[in-house]
Structure 1
Amino acid sequence: MGGTGDTVAGREALIRFEGIGKTFGRVRALSDVDFTFMQGECVGIAGHNGAGKSTLMAVLAGVHAPTQGRIEVDGRDAPHYDANAARDAGVRCVFQELSLCANLTVAENMCIVHPQLRGRGWRRTATRLMREKLEAIFPGNGLKGNELVSDLTLTQQQMVEIARGFTVTDQPVRLVILDEPTSSLDAHTADQLLAFVRKAAQGGITCLLVTHMLGEIERVADRVMVMRDGSIVSVLGREQSSRASIIQAMGQHLEAERAPGAARVQTGRDRERHFEWNVGAKRHTRIEASRGEVIGFAGLAGQGQTEALLAIYEAATRHGPSRAKVAFVAGDRGRDGVFPIWSIAQNLDLRWLAGGAPRRRGLVDLAAARAVVEAWRAKIGIRGAAMSAGILSLSGGNQQKVLFARALASDADLILMDDPTRGVDVGTKRDIYQLVHDEAAKGRTFIWYTTENEELSHCDRTYVFRSAAVTRVLHADECTEEALLAASFEEQAA
Structure 2
Amino acid sequence: MSHSETAALSAAREAPPPIPLLCVRGVDVTFGPVRALQRVDFEFAVGECVAVAGHNGAGKSTLMSVLSGARRPDAGTIEVAGQRFDGGFDAREARAIGIRCVFQELSLCPNLTIEENMRAVHPQLRHFGWRRRARAIIEDQLDAIFPGHGLRGTDVVGDLTLAQQQMVEIARGFASVDAPVRLVILDEPTSSLDRYTADQLLAFIGRCAQAGVTCILITHMLEEMLRSAHRVMVMRDGKVVSTLDAAHLQKEAIIRAMGQFTDETASTTQRAQTSQAGESAFRWNVGPRRRTVIEARRGAIVGLAGLAGQGQTLALHDIYVESRKRGSNIRVAFVAGDRRADGVFIDWTIAENLDIRSLYNRDSRIWLNRAALRDLFDRWAKRIDIRGAAPTDNILALSGGNQQKVLFARALASDAELVLMDDPTRGVDIGTKLEIYRLLQAEAAKGRTFVWYTTENDEFAYCERVYVFRGGDVTRVLDASECTEQALLAASFEEARS
Tell me by how many angstroms 1:253 deviates: 2.3
AA at the equivalent of 2:349: S
* Pairing 1:191–2:199 present: yes
Q: Name the residue aligned to 1:297.
A: 304
Tell me by how many angstroms 1:136 deviates: 0.4
Taking the aligned partners of 2:129 and 2:203, their CA distance within structure 1 comes to 33
TM-score, normalising length from structure 1?
A: 0.94
Residue 217 of structure 2: which of 209, 227, 241 is its match?
Answer: 209
Tell me by how many angstroms 1:273 deviates: 3.8
CA spacing shift, 1:35–1:13, aligned 2, 3 Å:
same
After superposition, the C-alpha distances for 1:97-121 in whole angstroms (9 at most, x for unaligned) are 0000011011100011111111101
Tell me by how many angstroms 1:382 deviates: 0.7
CA spacing shift, 1:258–1:472, aligned 2, 3 Å:
farther
Given that residues 16 and 45 in structure 2 are in contact (C-alpha distance below 8 angstroms), is that contact kept between their aligned partners in structure 1? no
Provide structure 1 residue ranges, at least 5 long, that are not aligned to the other structure. 1-7
Q: Name the residue aligned to 1:427.
A: 431
CA spacing shift, 1:266–1:64, aligned 2, 3 Å:
closer
CA spacing shift, 1:263–1:403, aligned 2, 3 Å:
closer
* Pairing 1:389–2:387 present: no
Given that residues 42 and 201 in structure 1 are in contact (C-alpha distance below 8 angstroms), is that contact kept between their aligned partners in structure 2? yes
Residue 122 of structure 2: which of 96, 114, 119 is its match?
Answer: 114
Given that residues 358 and 368 in structure 2 are in contact (C-alpha distance below 8 angstroms), is that contact kept between their aligned partners in structure 1? no
TM-score, normalising length from structure 2?
A: 0.94
Secondary structure of residue in 2 paired with 1:172: coil
* Pairing 1:326–2:332 present: yes
AA at the equivalent of 1:134: L
Q: Name the residue aligned to 1:478.
A: 482
Tell me by how many angstroms 1:84 deviates: 2.0
- In the alignment of these two chains, the number of paired residues is 483
Residue 39 of structure 1: which of 46, 55, 76 is its match?
Answer: 46
Taking the aligned partners of 2:16 and 2:194, their CA distance within structure 1 comes to 35
Q: Name the residue aligned to 1:350.
A: 356
Given that residues 26 and 76 in structure 2 are in contact (C-alpha distance below 8 angstroms), is that contact kept between their aligned partners in structure 1? yes
Q: Name the residue aligned to 2:472.
A: 468
Q: Name the residue aligned to 2:284.
A: 277
Residue 93 of structure 2: which of 79, 85, 96 is its match?
Answer: 85
Tell me by how many angstroms 1:493 deviates: 2.5
Taking the aligned partners of 1:97 and 1:264, their CA distance within structure 2 comes to 32
Q: Name the residue aligned to 2:9.
A: none
Q: Name the residue aligned to 1:165.
A: 173
* Pairing 1:236–2:229 present: no
Tell me by how many angstroms 1:227 deviates: 0.4
Given that residues 224 and 238 in structure 1 are in contact (C-alpha distance below 8 angstroms), is that contact kept between their aligned partners in structure 2? yes
Tell me by how many angstroms 1:411 deviates: 0.9
Given that residues 274 and 445 in structure 2 are in contact (C-alpha distance below 8 angstroms), is that contact kept between their aligned partners in structure 1? no
Worse overlay, 25-34 or 159-168: 25-34
* Pairing 1:454–2:458 present: yes
RMSD between aligned residues: 1.8
Worse overlay, 141-150 or 155-164: 141-150
Q: Name the residue aligned to 1:3.
A: none
Taking the aligned partners of 1:15 and 1:426, their CA distance within structure 2 comes to 28
Taking the aligned partners of 2:271 and 2:124, their CA distance within structure 1 comes to 61
Worse overlay, 370-379 or 388-397: 370-379
Given that residues 108 and 117 in structure 2 are in contact (C-alpha distance below 8 angstroms), is that contact kept between their aligned partners in structure 1? yes
AA at the equivalent of 2:44: F
Tell me by how many angstroms 1:240 deviates: 4.8
After superposition, the C-alpha distances for 1:260-297 in whole angstroms (9 at most, x for unaligned) are 753862754x9524211000123641011111000000
Tell me by how many angstroms 1:244 deviates: 1.8
Q: How does 1:140-179 map to 2 (within 5 A)?
A: 140-179=148-187
Q: Name the residue aligned to 2:106.
A: 98
AA at the equivalent of 2:47: G
Given that residues 271 and 462 in structure 2 are in contact (C-alpha distance below 8 angstroms), is that contact kept between their aligned partners in structure 1? no
Tell me by how many angstroms 1:18 deviates: 1.0
Q: Name the residue aligned to 1:246.
A: 254
Q: Name the residue aligned to 1:26.
A: 33
Taking the aligned partners of 1:228 and 1:434, their CA distance within structure 2 comes to 24
Tell me by how many angstroms 1:134 deviates: 0.3
Tell me by how many angstroms 1:68 deviates: 1.4
Worse overlay, 77-86 or 133-142: 77-86
Worse overlay, 299-308 or 477-486: 477-486
* Pairing 1:338–2:352 present: no
Given that residues 299 and 446 in structure 2 are in contact (C-alpha distance below 8 angstroms), is that contact kept between their aligned partners in structure 1? yes
AA at the equivalent of 1:122: W
Q: Name the residue aligned to 2:17.
A: 10
AA at the equivalent of 1:428: T
Tell me by how many angstroms 1:66 deviates: 1.2
After superposition, the C-alpha distances for 1:112-157 in whole angstroms (9 at most, x for unaligned) are 1111111101111111111100010000000011111110000000
Worse overlay, 417-426 or 372-381: 372-381
Given that residues 122 and 177 in structure 2 are in contact (C-alpha distance below 8 angstroms), is that contact kept between their aligned partners in structure 1? yes
Residue 135 of structure 2: which of 127, 133, 138 is its match?
Answer: 127
